[in-house]
């Protein structure tokens, strides 16, 4: 089986400090580390054996455990019941050939290499002796005092180009090296200090994983049935994965004879052949995310569960397909018992209302029942549950993400789109989410963006004219119009285009002394309070602009959304005063003129001129940066990109920073992005150009708004 080498923690007892190696490993594995390499040059073999037994228990199969150099200790630990998956050997350590002989064909064997001579030696080995090369040091590091000259990223890139084996970068790697190293061809990163010495190894590992995913193309496997009409099953999965930026693969569990009017037959091939398909993939391809659809019968379910336990993919999304939109059964009722074992291995379940009722044994007669049942299913399985409201009566089609363990409860509203082409909506949505999670999105953002794509695909499904029943959605709506590929850009592409268009502005915001001081806790109170006071003045007028957006919105859902946002702005402004600008707490407005400063005035004048001079579409484009930049900055602050201290409860501005991470605001931002980019996709060229200009102007004013208080710093 090929190992996922993306993130390897190399232990260093000195750097783990009082927390100790085992606790550091536990937290880092919780955060997503895929391989743990126990490395301790000073411990005795007996001590290494004891640590391997301990780490094997701590890791509990969630990551691979290898030991640096100590082959004999690995063998002894195995004999005593530890799960030791392999060794990493240096050039001078035991021979890799002996390691392969003693550990077996399935062991993971790594070899340190950093020169042409080392590569020649590797080429001379029998194929399959070594699985990967540890290549470094990338930067000078204290954790390997005798290291050779640093390769740097360019040196690493050249080495990878000449290497016959996957290369894992090691030596002085920080989180900001992640994208460049993956672009340089790294199969993964081996990290020592950045994780062992981290305040919060779990968060740091999660931040590394997020960056790693962001810089690659997700490799997404669908394990599902075939629907020859192309609207559902693996056919829909592969289209959805591609449309959401992933590279799709598919292992077939069953074949259906099916069209848009129903299922006329199901054939389940011998389950050994499913196992053969899955093993073939696991032996060759690192899989970032798995989406599971139709499973047909109990044997298929247990085969998939066994494979998941062996491969341990980092993301598993289960769409518990039981009954097709046509009403035909796609899962043998006898398999429902076996299904529970699968559900506990999932990170996300995406049942529709009927499936939720079967999985919980409860009546689900409306949305409130559905939310309760989803909460129960999440508690019972440990998985997050996205309960889908597509089959509800009425003019709304809501969904809700509920994760009992993480305390997440996020509803997504939306008008029902009038169309018969709803075949495969569940398959398509779950595949899109699996892809976006593998690209580093958090659950709420992945669901919001996938819903936005799905809704656009539903809206554009009419042009396909497939069959006389429930037709498929138009997975590539953004690329297709009648008769072939056109230049019409999709909402998702417009979002990417606009986000890139303000890349320089975003980089300027990140570099602002105000932001750096805020994150690092060094910002003095004067500029901070000035910023808050200006923010309070801004929010009062911003709420009026949002109310104008609500008044001019074309649909009831948008009308409600902008009205809710206006309310949120006012509540935010009132809370600002109560929490920070309360004269009774010694903060007097006398410190600053209680008037809008020049930047605040310019920003509000810009918004008001668009609100009362442009149309609805231009107005919401001008509003969007206040959502999008704020949420993006907050997510990155919380992910530790400005240093772990930004998450420290002792931080002087901790309560203010916490407002940046509100999941409800993150979902509102995703919704706002959806509305604005949908409007831009539907607009004519001239309107879209005006929208983009308004968006870019507001983005620049957001930057200036953060910079304005800086002049007060010296007075602080």
Ligand X SMILES: Cc1ncc(COP(=O)(O)O)c(N)n1
Cβ nearer to Mg ion, comparing 316 with 553: 316
Q: Peptide bond before 459: cis, by omega within 30 degrees of 0?
A: no
DSSP 282-323: HTT---SEEEE---BSHHHHHHHHHHHHHH--S-EEE----B
DSSP conformation letters of 177-209: GHHHHHHTT-SEEEESHHHHT-S-HHHHHHHHH
Indicate whether 389 belongs to the interface with ligand ADP (CB under 6 A): yes
Total of residues contacting ligand ADP (CB under 6 A)? 20
Of the listed pieces 137-145, 417-425, 566-574, 638-646, which binds ligand X according to CB under 6 A? Answer: 417-425
Q: Which does 293 bind (CB under 5 to 8 A by kind): ligand ADP, Mg ion, ligand X, none?
A: ligand X
| 201, 248, 313, 426: which one binds Mg ion (CB under 5 A) | 426
Binders of ligand ADP in range 316-375 (CB under 6 A) = 325, 352
Instruction: Give min distance, CB of 471 to ligand X, in A.
Output: 11
Does residue number 181 form part of the binding site for ligand ADP (CB under 6 A)? no
Among ligand ADP, Mg ion, ligand X, none, partner that 382 touches (CB below 5 to 8 angstroms by kind): none
Catalytic residue among 388, 435, 631, 669: 388
Q: Is 233 in the site for ligand X (CB under 6 A)?
A: yes
Angstrom distances, CA of residue 108 to CA of 68, 130, 169, 523, 590: 12, 8, 17, 48, 67
Is 427 within 8 Å of 236 (Cβ atoms)? yes
* Token pair of 17 as six digits: 């400090």
Among 362, 391, 488, 608, binds ligand ADP (CB under 6 A): 391
Neighbouring-strand partners of residue 252: 224
Q: Pick one of Mg ion, ligand ADP, ligand X, none as the site partner of residue 391 (Cβ within 5 to 8 A by kind).
A: ligand ADP
Alpha helices in 6-85 (DSSP H): 13-16, 20-31, 45-59, 71-79
Q: Which is nearer to ligand ADP, 228 or 711 (CB)?
A: 228
Q: Which of 256, 325, 425, 631 is catalytic?
A: 425
DSSP 536-597: HHHHHHHHHHHHHHHHT-SSHHHHHHHHHHHHHHHHHHHHHHHHT--GGGT--GGGS-SS--
Residue 390, interface with ligand ADP (CB under 6 A)?
yes
21 or 429: CB nearest Mg ion: 429
CB within 8 Å of 360: residues ≥ 6 apart = 373, 376, 377
Q: Is 198 in the site for ligand X (CB under 6 A)?
A: no
Q: Does 385 bind ligand ADP (CB under 6 A)?
A: no
Taking each helix axis as running N to C, give the angle between helix 20-31 and helix 201-214, from 0 to 180 degrees, rounded to the nearest 10.
Answer: 40
Select from 186, 199, 131, 134 the least CA-distant residue to 158. 186
H or E segment to which residue 9 belongs: strand 7-10
Residue 293 within binding range of Mg ion, rule CB under 5 A? no
Query: CA geometry: angle at 409 spanning 406 and 411, to 5°?
Result: 150
- By CB under 6 A, tell whether 313 contacts ligand X: no
Residue nearest Mg ion, CB atom distance: 426
330 contacts which partner out of Mg ion, ligand X, ligand ADP, none, CB within 5 to 8 A by kind? ligand X
Q: From the CB of 236, what's the least distance to ligand X, in Å?
A: 7
Helix axis angle for 685-707 and 525-551, nearest 10°, is 160
Q: Measure the CA angle with vertex 305, ends 302 and 308; round to 5°.
A: 155
192 labelled binding-site residue: yes
- For ligand ADP, the closer of residues 126 and 327 by Cβ is 327
CB of 303 to ligand X, least distance (A): 17
If you count them, how many residues does the chain have? Answer: 716
Using CB under 6 A as the binding rule, whether residue 29 contacts ligand X is answered as no
Strands (E), 243-392: 247-259, 262-267, 289-292, 316-318, 348-349, 384-388
What part of residues 280-299 is at the interface with ligand X (CB under 6 A)? 293-294
| CB 397 to ligand ADP: min, Å | 4
Known catalytic residue: 302? Answer: no
Asked if 439 and 218 count as a contact pair (C-beta separation under 8 A), the reply is: yes
| Candidate list 69, 85, 204, 227; residue touching ligand X; CB under 6 A | 227
655 classed as catalytic: no
Active site residue 425: yes
Residues 195, 512: Cα–Cα separation, whole Å: 27
C-alpha pair distances (Å), 402 with each of 350, 379, 444, 496: 10, 10, 10, 28
Whether residue 212 contacts residue 190, with contact meaning beta carbons closer than 8 Å, is answered with no
- Residue listed under structure tokens 């592969």: 238
Q: In whole angstroms, give the CA distance from residue 404 to residue 398.
A: 19
Q: CB of residue 537 vs ligand ADP: minimum separation in angstroms? A: 39
- Taking CB within 5 to 8 Å according to partner kind, which of Mg ion, ligand ADP, ligand X, none is near residue 275? none
From 232, 251, 621, 633, residue interacting with ligand X (rule: CB under 6 A): 232
User: Is residue 421 involved in binding ligand X (CB under 6 A)?
Assistant: no
Q: Does 425 participate in binding ligand ADP (rule CB under 6 A)?
A: yes
Closest contact distance (angstroms) between CB of 298 and ligand X is: 17
Q: Which is nearer to Mg ion, 349 or 629 (CB)?
A: 349
182 binds ligand X (CB under 6 A): no
Of 321, 620, 621, 626, the one binding ligand X (CB under 6 A) is: 321
Examine the residue annotation and report whether 388 is marked as an active-site residue of this protein. yes
Partners of residue 167 on adjacent β-strands: 133
Annotated binding site: 37-41, 68-69, 93, 112, 141-144, 172, 192-193
As annotated, the active-site residues are 388, 422, 424-427
Residues lying near Mg ion in the complex (CB under 5 A): 426
Chain residues that interact with ligand ADP, rule: CB under 6 A: 325, 352, 388-391, 397, 399, 414, 416-417, 419, 422, 425-426, 429, 451, 454-455, 458
Contact positions vs ligand X (CB under 6 A): 224-227, 232-233, 256, 258, 293-294, 321, 324-325, 330, 423-427
């Amino acid at each position: 089986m090929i190992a996922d080498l993306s993130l390897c923690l190399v232990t260093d007892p000195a750097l783990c400090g009082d927390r100790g190696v085992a606790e550091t490993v536990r937290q880092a594995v919780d955060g997503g580390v895929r391989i743990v390499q126990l490395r301790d040059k000073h411990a005795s073999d007996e001590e290494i054996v004891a640590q391997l037994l301990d780490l094997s228990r701590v890791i509990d199969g969630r990551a691979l455990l290898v030991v640096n150099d100590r082959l004999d200790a690995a063998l002894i630990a195995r004999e005593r019941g530890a799960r030791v998956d392999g060794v990493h050997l240096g050039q001078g350590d035991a021979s890799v050939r002996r390691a392969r002989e003693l550990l077996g064909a399935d062991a993971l064997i790594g070899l340190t290499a950093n020169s042409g001579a080392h590569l020649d030696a590797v080429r001379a080995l029998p194929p399959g002796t070594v699985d990967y090369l540890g290549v470094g040091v990338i930067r000078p590091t204290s954790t390997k005092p005798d290291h050779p000259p640093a390769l740097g990223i360019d040196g690493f890139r050249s080495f990878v180009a000449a290497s016959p084996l996957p290369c894992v970068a090691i030596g002085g790697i920080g989180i900001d090296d992640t994208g460049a190293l993956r672009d340089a061809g790294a199969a993964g990163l081996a990290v020592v200090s950045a994780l062992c010495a981290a305040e919060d190894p779990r968060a740091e590992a999660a931040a590394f994983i997020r960056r790693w995913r962001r810089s690659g193309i997700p490799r997404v496997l669908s394990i599902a049935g075939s629907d020859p009409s192309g609207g559902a099953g693996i056919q829909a999965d592969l289209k959805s994965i591609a449309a959401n930026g992933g590279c799709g693969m598919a292992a077939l569990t069953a074949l259906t004879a099916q069209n848009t009017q129903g299922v006329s037959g199901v054939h389940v091939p011998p389950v050994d052949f499913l196992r053969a398909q899955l093993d073939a993939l696991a032996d060759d391809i690192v899989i970032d995310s798995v989406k599971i659809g139709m499973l047909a019968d109990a044997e298929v379910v247990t085969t998939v569960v066994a494979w998941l336990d062996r491969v341990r993919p980092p993301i598993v999304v289960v769409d518990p397909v039981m009954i097709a939109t046509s009403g035909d059964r796609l899962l043998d009722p006898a398999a429902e018992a076996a299904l529970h074992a699968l559900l506990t291995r999932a990170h996300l379940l995406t049942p529709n209302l009927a499936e939720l009722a079967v999985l919980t044994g409860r009546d689900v007669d409306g949305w409130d029942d559905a939310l309760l049942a989803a909460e129960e299913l999440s508690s019972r399985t440990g998985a997050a549950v996205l309960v889908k409201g597509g089959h509800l009566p009425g003019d709304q089609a809501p969904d809700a993400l509920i994760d009992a363990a993480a305390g997440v409860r996020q509803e997504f509203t939306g008008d029902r789109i009038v169309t018969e082409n709803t075949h495969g909506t569940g398959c398509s949505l779950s595949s899109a989410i699996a892809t976006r999670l593998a690209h580093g999105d958090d659950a709420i953002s992945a669901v919001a963006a996938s819903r936005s794509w799905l809704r656009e695909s539903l809206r554009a499904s009419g042009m396909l004219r497939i069959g006389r029943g429930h037709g498929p959605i138009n997975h590539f709506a953004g690329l297709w119009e009648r008769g072939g590929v056109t230049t019409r850009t999709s909402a998702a592409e417009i979002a990417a285009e606009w986000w890139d268009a303000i890349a320089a502005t975003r980089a300027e915001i990140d570099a602002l002394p105000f932001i750096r001081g805020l994150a690092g806790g060094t910002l003095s109170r004067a500029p901070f309070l000035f910023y808050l006071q200006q923010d309070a003045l801004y929010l009062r007028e911003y709420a009026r602009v949002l109310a104008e957006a609500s008044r001019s919105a074309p649909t009831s859902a948008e009308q409600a959304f902008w009205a809710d946002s206006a309310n949120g702005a006012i509540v935010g402004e009132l809370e600002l005063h109560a929490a920070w600008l309360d004269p009774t707490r010694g903060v007097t407005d006398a410190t600053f003129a209680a008037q809008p400063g020049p930047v605040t005035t310019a920003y509000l004048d810009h918004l008001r001129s668009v609100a009362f001079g442009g149309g609805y579409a231009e107005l919401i484009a001008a509003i969007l940066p206040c959502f999008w930049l704020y949420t993006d900055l907050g997510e990155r602050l919380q992910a530790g990109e400005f240093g772990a201290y930004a998450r420290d409860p002792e931080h002087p501005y901790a309560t203010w920073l916490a407002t940046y991470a509100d999941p409800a605001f993150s979902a509102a931002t995703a919704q706002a992005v959806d509305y604005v980019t949908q409007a831009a996709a539907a607009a004519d060229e001239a309107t879209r150009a005006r929208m983009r200009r308004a968006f870019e102007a507001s983005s620049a004013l957001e930057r200036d708004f953060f910079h304005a208080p800086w002049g007060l710093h010296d007075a602080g």
